[in-house]
Amino acid sequence: MRRELKIAVILLILSYFSNSIRTYGYEISVFLLVLAYIVSFKPVFSMLCEALWGIPLNSSWKTGSWKLYRKIGKKYEVAALLKVENIQWSTEDYTPSKFASVIKAVMEKILKLNPVILIKKESELNYYIFIRRRGKKLIDLDRDIEASVRFLLNSAGRTGIDLEVCDPKEFFSLFNLTEKKIDRENLALIIVLDFFSILAAICTKGYLQVVGILLTILFTLSLFCFYRGKELNEKYYYADAVEVGEIADTDIQDFSELVSNIINTEENAKIVIEVEKASTRIEAELERKAAKKYFAATTFDWLGTLVSSFKILERARRRRERKEFVYLIRLYTTSERIKEALEGYGFSFIRLPLKAPVLKAFYG
Amino acid sequence: MGESMKAGLKKMHGRIRDKLLEKLFYSPRKQVAFTYDLAPLGPHLMWLYVPEKGIYLGRDDYDREVYLNPAQLRVFHGVIIGPSGAGKSLFLKHFLYQIPNLKVNFMIIDPHSDYSVLIRKLGGEVIDIRKTMFKTTNIFRNIESRELFIKAVAALYRLTEGQELSLREAIKRSKDFSQVLSNLPPVLRSKLEYPFSFLTNGEVDLKDLLDEKIPFSVDLSSMRRERPVLDEAASVIARLAIDEVLGYYWKKPRMHRLRFLIVADEYHNILAKPIDVVERILRETRKIGVYMVVASQDVDKFSESYFTQVGFIIALTLSEGQVEELRALTKKNITDADELFITTAPPMEEFFPTKALLLVHYHKKAIRVRLDISEEVLEY
């Protein structure tokens, strides 16, 4: 999101100044303006909708005895929520090398199922694993989710983690959601802005008219999409880069202990991890990316890019040597201390002005 | 505008809106991560679970309060191990002091009169067997109790088969112990006169105490002053007291929830030999909600099956050898850090338990507890 908005601002500045170019200046500036608009449309539209109507949550989940069901168009989705009841070992119980191998086995078993993980600390710490399957045949999905849950219960049990299947009703109380009350002042402001942008689109010409048209589309669409949304009073940080380089077993154990200490001592904290298993070809892509960056860095003598290229190469090598699986993840946290700890490990975080992506991971 | 048209428009708006929101709402880009990148966020970041209510023990390594919650234990049978000077009695007082909070009644077999003041403070009754005695009725009614009693007496006093037979006949023909004594042949009478003489003048009816939920102790200290000869007599009386309590609860409706706790100090001297009465209790009394907690000095006084049947084990300062035995008998993951924790005690002016290892059936590893003995208990 930060990247999109940064690019949009740069394009807007360029668009404004390119207006003064004599030949094709107007065309270039309009082109850059539209480009900036396209790049920033989704984040801005989402922020506007969330501010006006709240978080869109069209959750039509139905509960079974322990499974959750819903129908999306012609497809079905079946899900189950599991919770860690007890663990028989913790970070300090092993030597670093043993810990590294045990945690690798545990995580790979869990992450294999493309889960959404919620680590929630309120009066007590809860570790939820949410798994879902989507497809056309409900009976196959049912069987698939049962097999996945059985696999998870058995494999976690063998590694000293006692999991239990949660009551599906618990799924709806994972987040403290409230009904969003529509802020009349905000709504009035958007209506007025929309009115002026329509006026600008009709009554003006040139650059300002284009701005008016673009803003009219944005404001009208966000007003058109009215819905009864939810509200979540939490600030989220989002991991917008994972640059964990070469790590020793002791680092893994130390950081695990640090995160464990923080989450257990925080009064209120949440970590949400949306995981999807990725192709191992990503390693080759990483190497290509490192090569590109290295080329750019040496051509223009940019030290930062050079360091970044080495880091990427280091990661690719680490994956190959340690035989790690590759995942595509979205990681959110509400805790500033967790954010700082993970930044020390190699993650980089930004504030997420939206809350919808977090809830979409579960309910969407 | 008709209602159906309104509904149709609403439906159409809903469809378009949902599609727009799905397409236009922002989702952050997914990041590439490897297994070890996510290692600090694995389930192990949870700390070992400790219950939040029950009998308060102290604080764990993470400074959380550690409780022993009967509701979360498979059975509330327990073992407290601590060598001489480890502060076992003080810890037991701390333990007993909190039992009324669980709204359950208890009795304690008290070989040294250590708990009399505490029992009185809790509004309970101290049965000092030199002065008063409880009424024994169960062994005259219940065949199983009688047989167990005869076996125990025969083993304790090394009776011959003939003497055992005579004892059985005497009990069968009697209604109380004064009759038993008069029905015994002279040689056997002289042998059993000492323990049975205590049983002839039963005044306290345990049924009344149990009905009114009054805690009580069976104080054997006056007998044990004449040690070692009279440990056998103390054992006979302790077994009878336990038997009376069990007889009372077997007549009650079945209930697994803890409703009565039998606590026995110095298990190894009073109840372990020659026939272990506790093992039977551990196996059978869950049905009636009667549980047993025993305290002993040594780990090797307990058999392996004993440890599989108890819900919790609390070990106070132990030696390296005892830790090794505990590890072997309980099959629990007692780590080197646990061993260091429990084998070392900080220097102190008085005997005072400061550390304990808590082993519960639902954890593979031990919980290290820094004991927090309540100040009120220190006064008793």
Question: Which pLDDT belongs to residue B130?
Answer: 76
The rounded distance, in Å, linking the Cα atoms of A257 and B45 is 7
Judgement on whether residues A134 and A208 belong to the same structural domain of the protein: no
Judgement on whether residues A198 and A221 belong to the same structural domain of the protein: yes
Please name which of B46, B309, B68 lies closest in space to residue A88, comparing C-alpha atoms.
B46
Is there a domain that residue B50 lies in? Answer: no
Judgement on whether residues B116 and B263 belong to the same structural domain of the protein: yes
A-to-B residue pairs, Cβ atoms closer than 8 angstroms: 190
On average, the pLDDT of chain A sits at 88
Distances (CA, A) of B60 to A257, A266, B68, B353: 16, 17, 13, 15
- DSSP states along B343-364: H-----SS----EEEEEETT-S
Judgement on whether residues A84 and A147 belong to the same structural domain of the protein: yes
Nearest to A88 among B27, B29, B363 (CB): B363
Exposed e or buried b for every residue in B120-146, given b needs 16+ CB within 10 A? eebebbbbbbeeebbbbbbbbebeebb
Judgement on whether residues B197 and B159 belong to the same structural domain of the protein: yes
Residue pair A312/A286 in contact by the 8 Å Cβ criterion: yes
For chain B, what is the domain count? Answer: 3
Distances (CA, A) of B334 to A291, B58, B321, B359, B372: 50, 19, 13, 9, 22
Judgement on whether residues B146 and B125 belong to the same structural domain of the protein: no
Judgement on whether residues A335 and A221 belong to the same structural domain of the protein: no
Is there a domain that residue B210 lies in? Answer: no
B37 touches chain A (CB under 8 A): yes
The rounded distance, in Å, linking the Cα atoms of A131 and A163 is 13
Residues of A in contact with B35 (CB under 8 A): 104, 107-108, 111, 322, 324-325, 327
Is there a domain that residue A299 lies in? Answer: no
The rounded distance, in Å, linking the Cα atoms of A80 and A100 is 28
Q: Judge: B45–A260 Cβ closer than 8 Å, yes or no.
A: yes
Question: Which pLDDT belongs to residue B350?
Answer: 62
Q: What average pLDDT score do residues A296-306 get?
A: 86
Judgement on whether residues B236 and B273 belong to the same structural domain of the protein: yes
The rounded distance, in Å, linking the Cα atoms of B226 and B213 is 33
Judgement on whether residues B311 and B370 belong to the same structural domain of the protein: yes
Q: What is the CATH number of the domain that holds A149?
A: 3.40.462
**What is the SS3 string spanning B119-163?**
HHHCCCEEEECCCCEECCCHHHHCHHHHHHHHHHHHHHCCCCHHH
Residues of B in contact with A85 (CB under 8 A): 49
Judgement on whether residues A67 and A118 belong to the same structural domain of the protein: yes
Question: Which pLDDT belongs to residue B224?
Answer: 57
Judgement on whether residues A158 and A118 belong to the same structural domain of the protein: yes
Residues of A in contact with B339 (CB under 8 A): none
Is there a domain that residue A297 lies in? Answer: no
Question: Which pLDDT belongs to residue A271?
Answer: 94
Residues of B in contact with A117 (CB under 8 A): 41
Q: Judge: B30–A328 Cβ closer than 8 Å, yes or no.
A: yes
Question: Which pLDDT belongs to residue B221?
Answer: 81
Judgement on whether residues A162 and A238 belong to the same structural domain of the protein: yes
Please name which of A182, A355, A37, A49 lies closest in space to residue B21, comparing C-alpha atoms.
A49
pTM score of the predicted model: 0.76
Question: Which pLDDT belongs to residue B77?
Answer: 92
Judgement on whether residues A238 and A149 belong to the same structural domain of the protein: yes
Phi/psi at B213 (5° precision): 55, 45
Q: What is the CATH number of the domain that holds B355?
A: 3.40.50.300
Is there a domain that residue A166 lies in? Answer: yes
Question: Which pLDDT belongs to residue B173?
Answer: 87
pLDDT at A336 over 90: yes
Nearest to B35 among A160, A273, A325 (CB): A325
Tallying the residues shown for chain B, one arrives at 380
B253 touches chain A (CB under 8 A): no
The rounded distance, in Å, linking the Cα atoms of B153 and B149 is 6
Question: Which pLDDT belongs to residue B181?
Answer: 86
- Amino acid code (one letter) for B375: E
Judge if the upstream peptide bond of residue A168 is cis by omega within 30 degrees of 0. Answer: no
Judgement on whether residues B302 and B185 belong to the same structural domain of the protein: no
For strand B367-371 and strand B355-360, is the pairing parallel, antiparallel, or unpaired? antiparallel
Distances (CA, A) of B104 to A203, B92, B180: 85, 16, 35
Nearest to A103 among B25, B30, B42 (CB): B42
Nearest to B33 among A238, A242, A263 (CB): A242
Is there a domain that residue A217 lies in? Answer: yes
Distances (CA, A) of A195 to A191, A219, A308, B229: 6, 9, 47, 105
B74 touches chain A (CB under 8 A): no
The rounded distance, in Å, linking the Cα atoms of B282 and B267 is 14
Asked which of B204, B228, B254 is the last residue of a domain, the reply is B204
Please name which of A97, A357, A67, A71 lies closest in space to residue A247, comparing C-alpha atoms.
A97
Instruction: Provide the token pair at B131.
Output: 């002065």
Judgement on whether residues A359 and A272 belong to the same structural domain of the protein: yes
pLDDT tens-digit readout, B199-255 = 777 778 888 999 999 999 998 887 655 555 457 778 888 888 898 899 899 888 888
B331 touches chain A (CB under 8 A): no
Residues of A in contact with B49 (CB under 8 A): 85-87
How far away is chain A from the Cα of B308, in angstroms, using its nearest Cα?
A: 18
Judgement on whether residues B25 and B80 belong to the same structural domain of the protein: no
Is there a domain that residue A27 lies in? Answer: yes
Question: Which pLDDT belongs to residue A128?
Answer: 94
Helical H segments across A54-182, by residue range = 96-111, 138-158, 168-171
- DSSP states along B284-298: HGGGGTEEEEEEES-
Residue pair B256/B102 in contact by the 8 Å Cβ criterion: no
Judgement on whether residues A46 and A73 belong to the same structural domain of the protein: no
pLDDT at A144 over 80: yes
Judgement on whether residues B94 and B176 belong to the same structural domain of the protein: no
Instruction: Provide the token pair at B333.
Output: 């993951």
Nearest to B44 among A42, A87, A108 (CB): A87
Question: Which pLDDT belongs to residue B226?
Answer: 56
Judgement on whether residues B152 and B253 belong to the same structural domain of the protein: no
For chain A, what is the domain count? Answer: 2
* Containing structural domain, residue B21: 3-45
pLDDT tens-digit readout, B98-147 = 999 889 999 999 888 889 999 999 999 998 877 888 888 888 888 888 88
Q: Judge: A242–B32 Cβ closer than 8 Å, yes or no.
A: yes
If you ran DSSP here, which 8-state letter would residue B333 be given? B
- Could you list the pLDDT tens digit for every one of the 380 residues in chain B? 578 888 888 888 888 888 888 888 888 889 889 999 999 999 988 887 788 889 999 998 888 899 999 988 889 999 999 888 788 888 999 999 999 988 999 999 988 888 999 999 999 999 887 788 888 888 888 888 888 888 888 887 888 889 889 999 998 888 888 888 888 888 888 888 877 877 777 778 888 999 999 999 998 887 655 555 457 778 888 888 898 899 899 888 888 889 999 999 888 778 877 677 777 778 888 889 999 999 988 888 787 778 888 999 999 988 899 999 998 888 888 888 889 999 887 776 566 788 899 998 888 888 999 998 888 887 77
Q: Judge: A264–B40 Cβ closer than 8 Å, yes or no.
A: no
Residue pair B205/B134 in contact by the 8 Å Cβ criterion: yes
pLDDT tens-digit readout, A63-95 = 888 999 998 888 899 999 999 988 888 887 788
* Containing structural domain, residue A330: 62-177+232-280+325-363
Is there a domain that residue B209 lies in? Answer: no
